[in-house]
Amino acid sequence: MLKVNEKLPKNIRIKVNIQENMKTYTNKETENVVAVQETATTYLIAKNMSKTKQELDNEINEQIEKNIEAAEPYFRCVLNFGDLLDFNDDHVLLRLSSLNSHLQFETDRNNNLIVRMPTKFNTSRGNNALGAKLYNWNEEHQLGEVTDSNGGFHLPVTNSVKAPDVAFILNARLENIDIKKGFPNVAPDFVIELRSDSDRLQEVIEKMLEYIENGVRLGWLIDPQTENVHIYRLNGNHTIQTFDEKLSGEEVLPKFELDLRNIFKKK
């Protein structure tokens, strides 16, 4: 709980910056930060009025607690089974998925199982639209294969299983891989992760960095909450652009461009 003192404006700005970076909080809290700022303004005005500092402390802390309560539900469970389950065996993860079709599973480099709920309508709609754009481009150029958020990859460096929201892999890299059994032991050439309302930005960033570590050549982290796209490249170059700029597939996806304004229209 934030404690108010004479440096309250600075404390509030720190709170807002943390939320804007999405290292801890969810989108709903970020949307409600304005209410906290307004309460802080009330504090500044009231310093020379009749309210006591304790009354102002209580008022601001109550507002912050309301913001927390208004946050989107967030479900991401990380389970460590030790030696009981070996997720290097794709059949274990496939079996778990078949028995729990209402959940989504991935693994990390430490053989932990990551469990998530299915995506909400808006995120599902966005994923579908993004995948359709890439699929249509590939239909024209016939350069590889496109997968959706159900398509898992067994990443070769971190030995984890990840399912990007959208992915593309060149035909030549699939020639010597048996795609009929388990998850292909290869990193795709290109991935998209679409941040949902309840995703922690830092966690999605870490996922993007893991993709690059495993050999993904180009990755887009699309964030409708801030209308920014984080672009990751195999050479370590990382840039950010807004939804007002068209995305380029660069040399990884020749002649592929994407206008996000047509997909994520403001309501």
Question: Could you tell me what percent of the chain has a pLDDT over 90?
Answer: 46
**pLDDT (average), residues 143-151:** 94
E strand or H helix that includes residue 223: strand 218-223
**167 contacts 146 by C-beta, under 8 angstroms:** yes
Q: Which of 55, 24, 29, 26 is nearest to 42 (CA)?
A: 55
Which residues, including other chains, have CB under 8 Å from residue 143's CB and lie 6 or more apart? 170, 171, 254
Question: Model pTM?
Answer: 0.71
Residue 46 three-state SS = helix
- The token duo for 187 is 């990193």
For the stretch 159-177, pLDDT in tens is 999 999 999 999 999 888 8
Task: Walk me through the domains of the chain, giving residue ranges and CATH numbers.
Answer: 8-69 (no CATH), 119-262 (3.90.1570.10)
> What is the C-alpha to C-alpha distance for residues 193 and 110, in angstroms, rounded to an integer?
22
**Residue 147 phi, psi (nearest 5):** -125, 160
pLDDT of residue 119: 79
Per residue in 218-241, pLDDT tens? 999 999 989 999 999 999 999 999
CB 214 within 8 A of CB 189: no
Residue 172: DSSP 8-state: H
pLDDT in tens, 182-218: 889 999 999 999 998 878 888 999 999 999 999 999 9
